[in-house]
Amino acid sequence: MISIIVLVYLIALPLWEIFTTTFQMQYREAFKTGGTEGSFTLGYWKATLASPISRAMFYKPLFNSLSIGLSVSFFAILIGGVLAWLITRTDIPYKKFLSFILVVAYMVPSWCKALAWQVIFKNDRIGGYPGMFQSIFGISPPNWVSYGFFPIVVSLSLHYFVFSFLLISAALHSIGGDLEEMAEITGAKRWTILRRITFPLVLPAILSSFILTFSKSLGSFGAPAFLGLKVNYYTLSTMIYANIRNRMTTQAFTLGIVLMLVASLTVYFNQRAIGKRKSFTTIGGKSTRTNLIKLKKLKPVVTVAVILFVLIGVVLPLMTLVFQSVMLKPGTYSLDNFTLHFWVGNSNPAIAEGEAGIFNNPRIWAALINTLKLVFIVSFLATMVGLVLGYLVARGRKKPSGRFIEQISFTPMLIPAIALSTIYLSMFSKPQLFIPVLYGTFALLVIISVVKYLPFAVRSGTSSILQISTELEEAAKIEGSSWTRTFQKIILPLSKGSVFSAFLLIFISGMKELALIMLLVTPKTATLTTLTYAYTESGFVQFSNAITTLIIFIIISVNTIARKVGKADISKGIGG
């Protein structure tokens, strides 16, 4: 019962609060119009949907968000699906290495590709200095290549294709190759087999990939901010941020509600589509497939193409950021412009307004401590809470309480990060029952992060508990063991693998997080990601690139240790 109350308070109540706030006149408007604060009004919705600024504030950002979401979903599924098929169904070499590198792409923040794109394709018409492409070839990229829709779609597609790769790979492994072999025996052509057999069987995985990719890209903040704001290309997420910075908070809430509504409708129609395909099943038993599809003469070409994709899509952005972080002046690519100041330099008034390098900068050290403290606390709390809630879901699926916990704990998945941030900004900027104002505190960052990552943790916990026989718990109960002791001595040790995987996934997600905490941090609670955004806004791209490199180094290091020590695998949490 306590768990239900807490979930309702932290998830359902904030949703209700932000919804009702949009129909209540706020102090600022009441003072201007002579109205009564708290009285019913449709003014905020009219300002959003039917006012002279509606096109710029709502309809155009909505169109941009939908265009980005659909385009990224298409290209991510195409890339991820092709790679999944090549690695699971063909004799392409270096499969383990390629699979590992492709998953590394998820560990890199989505906005990392946006920063790398700026370094390479920036032109001197916007921002004053050229990117690497213009400096090397003397050709100034057009504005649509440097900023706006095209680079945002490319950057996000090169990040979110991992969802499709993992989900479709898992689906291809699970269905085996029996049906495909039978079709080959009957003389069916390869394209016919793909179209009539393989594609229908992996369609649920493709639809799940679409949901993950569309909802993530729809609410993405970093890439649209880095590559869109300089040319006034707004999405709903960046417009929410702009409204809050301009103290149009309630209008930002209306945009947040629209963002949640679009994401929820997408999930609803996806479930309808999957529901209509319940008749699709595969042959029972273990797959007998032993022969992979031989690429023959195409094998060297396909292998080189995949390796080039990995180099361009994963390795090149990282190398670009490192390279740019050792340039004294951005846009000048010569040996005499080389410097390590932005890494280890002391304060110098002639460089970056006196900012010391990241390893000598108290501001960055404080942000690093905040980041590590936040992600470790959140990862531990979310994993443990997720395991407990997963137990309640797994053991109570036939009860209304179990089904309710399962549904409400999944709800944060439907809420884009920037929208959830606006909800908590509204709720905790004033006292709530016995809880004081939390805005500006570290505790609020912990709470919102735990809530956001709860769906991952509960899913992992539920899957783990379902694999543990109830006989073990019954035996412990007969021996007089309390539930707490049973959980500690039996359930937790047997769930160790899932716990490590969930912890690792949440740790990686937390290290990369920007949109979720962007509106809630203060100078004292700043993290590495929010400093990256601040330095980019200030024009100190070397600092932002160096910090991003540091974030990626920490993520890959922790992932390597977790895989060796705890046998953790993030693919278990994101679809593998």
Mean pLDDT by 10 residues, the chain (576 residues): 86 88 87 85 93 94 96 96 90 89 85 91 83 90 94 95 89 71 73 78 85 89 93 95 89 91 82 57 47 85 94 90 90 86 92 92 96 97 93 85 86 85 87 83 96 90 84 83 85 84 91 93 95 91 94 92 74 52
pLDDT of the residue at 569: 65
Question: Tokens 């709860």, residue?
Answer: 454
For residue 142, the 8-state DSSP code is P
pLDDT of the residue at 177: 63
- Is 542 buried (19+), middle (13-18) or exposed (0-12) by CB count in 10 A? buried
Question: Tokens 């002579």, residue?
Answer: 34
Alpha-carbon span 228 to 152, nearest angstrom: 8
**Do the Cβ atoms of 45 and 254 come closer than 8 Å?**
yes
Alpha-carbon span 535 to 436, nearest angstrom: 32
Nearest residue to 156 via CA among 267, 262, 76? 76
pTM over 0.85: yes
Alpha-carbon span 414 to 261, nearest angstrom: 9
Query: Quick one: CA dihedral 245, 445, 417, 14, positive or negative?
Result: negative
pLDDT of the residue at 282: 47
**Taking the C-alpha atoms of 103, 107, 111 and 117 in order, what is their torsion angle to the nearest 10 degrees?**
-50
Contacts of 80 (CB under 8 A, 6+ apart): 161, 162, 163, 164, 165, 166, 167, 168, 209
For residue 128, the 8-state DSSP code is S
In sequence order, the β-bridge partners of residue 293 are: 90
- Is 375 buried (19+), middle (13-18) or exposed (0-12) by CB count in 10 A? buried
Continuous segment of H or E residues that includes residue 534? helix 528-538
pLDDT of the residue at 178: 66
Cα–chain-centroid distance for residue 188? Answer: 40
Residue-range domains of the chain with CATH: 1-27+361-576 (1.10.3720.10), 53-317 (1.10.3720.10)
- Maximum distance among all Cα pairs of the chain, rounded to whole angstroms: 80
